[in-house]
Amino acid sequence: MKPNALAEGVRPGRLDPSSLAEGFCDVHPPLTPHEAAVAADRCYFCHDAPCIAACPTEIDIPLFIRQIATGTPEAAAKTIFEQNILGGMCARVCPVETLCEQACVRETAEHEPVEIGRLQRYATDTLMAADVHPFERAAATGKRIAVVGAGPAGLACAHRLAMKGHDVVIYDAREKPGGLNEYGIAAYKTVDGFAEREVAWLLQIGGIRLEQGRALGRDVTLEELRADHDAVFLGTGLGAVNALGLDGEDRDGVEDAVDFIAELRQAEDLAALPIGRDVVVIGGGMTAVDAAVQAKLLGALNVTMVYRRGRDRMNASRKEQDHATTRGVRIVTNAVPVAVHGNGAVREVEFEFVEDDLTPTGERFRLTADQVFKAIGQRLDGAALPATERGKIAVTDAGRTSVDGVWAGGDCAAGGDDLTVTAVAEGRDAAEDIHAALTR
């Protein structure tokens, strides 16, 4: 948060260290071997398993669960990593309740699916704890590829290319690799520095060099990358945050939710993070939920999420919404912000109720707020990029852009949903296409 954002009522140390540690512990503790065996035994091992089709990376879920059931979690992990090299993180953050577990036959019949996400975590954690990398590099091809962005798409692309024998250089603007996995996900979902450890484990494949603190457009241009490499993959994510466009939006205490989450993720001492007494989060996606819940866990007395449509239209899953409410977050729907009030610092946010089609009703209300987090989406940030479509890089086939020799994937590319698992799939598939293009 910017230094002048410390409005009256926004202060650190609202909770003692033990309360903070309890609040930010692992939200879904890992399964024990016995629990994993019991959970695996519930799988029907379907022949035409709908859960596979529901997984953006198309992991053979029945196979890896059978491998767990037969006492070989390391083999299960390799089955997962063959399709999703970031399977450990995806096991923690994937909205499985709307993907593989929603498609599970057990969910259809009993409303209690196989715990696919937790079983995936059990398998991947087991192999990674052994500090073993399950893949080896192929013979060197002499080809060199630039990957821009060390987030899920870029890492997945880089790993697959390195595995095929290519040399890869990853350029990333931040000090640490990982992208949203490192900076943009709630701390209670990925504890004990898992994002950083996962990147270090992934890099064991060899053939990947990281260039941190180098941003596209600022430190290196796309044309320079094309000239110095045989191919380029863009996995830059969405660097700019949408504005509310309201009077008073620049008041102290009004912040971007992504910045709040990033600062929290990198904080060495959670008790030193300032948080308001009355916090308002504007938005209805995962970023909004993560910001709201973590504000409550830091000791905010009142936290309210406000979304412009109904709860059934929120990007955050119902499970995440329920997690927020059980943590004490209030959710107000069908309301849009119209003004930010205060004298230098925010004091209130004024909203107007709207119909499902966003037609104003004329009924307004105000929420007391000494801290406001904007979580209304991000947009592409960068000049001299390939052609765009609906505000993102236009792609065809396996991530090919309008510029020869340049591919793109993840949140910056048009067509997919903004999920870690989707970014991994797009990075992986682009790598396969790049490899085919360079070796044909």
Alpha-carbon distance values, 208 to 157, 170, 199, 290 (Å):
11, 7, 11, 32
Same domain? For 299 and 326 the reply is: yes
The tokens describing 215, both together, are 């941003």
Same domain? For 251 and 213 the reply is: no
Same domain? For 107 and 159 the reply is: no
Which of the listed residues 75, 103, 129 is the one where a domain comes to its end? 129
Low-confidence ranges of the chain (pLDDT < 50): 1-5
Same domain? For 394 and 295 the reply is: no
Domain count, the chain: 3
| In a domain? residue 330 | yes
Same domain? For 358 and 395 the reply is: no
Q: What is the signed CA dihedral for 241, 394, 412, 384, rounded to 10 degrees?
A: -70
| In a domain? residue 181 | yes
Same domain? For 156 and 210 the reply is: yes
| In a domain? residue 16 | no
| In a domain? residue 22 | no
- What pLDDT score was predicted for residue 1? 46
pTM for the full predicted model:
0.95
| In a domain? residue 110 | yes
b/e code 325-362 from CB counts within 10 Å (16+ = b): eebebebebbbbbebbebeebbbbbbbbebeeeeeeee
| In a domain? residue 9 | no
370: Cα within 13 Å, side-chain hemisphere? 15
Same domain? For 245 and 183 the reply is: no
Q: Which residues contact 5 (CB under 8 A, 6 or more apart)?
A: 252, 253, 254, 255, 274, 371
- What pLDDT score was predicted for residue 195? 97
| In a domain? residue 410 | yes
- CATH number of the domain encompassing residue 307: 3.50.50.60
Same domain? For 292 and 373 the reply is: yes
| In a domain? residue 262 | yes
Are 146 and 221 spatial neighbours (Cβ–Cβ below 8 Å)?
Answer: no
Same domain? For 232 and 156 the reply is: yes
Which of the listed residues 106, 129, 152 is the one where a domain comes to its end? 129
Same domain? For 156 and 245 the reply is: no
**Beta strands 231-234; 302-306: pairing state:** unpaired
- What pLDDT score was predicted for residue 116? 98
Q: How many angstroms separate the CA atoms of 150 and 157, rounded?
A: 10
- What pLDDT score was predicted for residue 383? 66
Which of the listed residues 79, 99, 129 is the one where a domain comes to its end? 129
The tokens describing 198, both together, are 């996962």
Same domain? For 344 and 274 the reply is: yes
Domain range for 211 is 144-239+380-439
Are 263 and 3 spatial neighbours (Cβ–Cβ below 8 Å)?
Answer: no
Q: What is the signed CA dihedral for 433, 160, 411, 404, rounded to 10 degrees?
A: -30
b/e code 378-406 from CB counts within 10 Å (16+ = b): bebbbeebbeeeeebbbbeebbbbebebb
The total number of residues shown for the chain amounts to 440
- CATH number of the domain encompassing residue 106: 1.10.1060.10
Q: Could you tell me which of 346, 266, 250, 277 has the C-alpha nearest to residue 12?
A: 277
- What pLDDT score was predicted for residue 390? 86
Q: How many angstroms separate the CA atoms of 264 and 261, rounded?
A: 5
- What pLDDT score was predicted for residue 2? 47
Same domain? For 124 and 150 the reply is: no
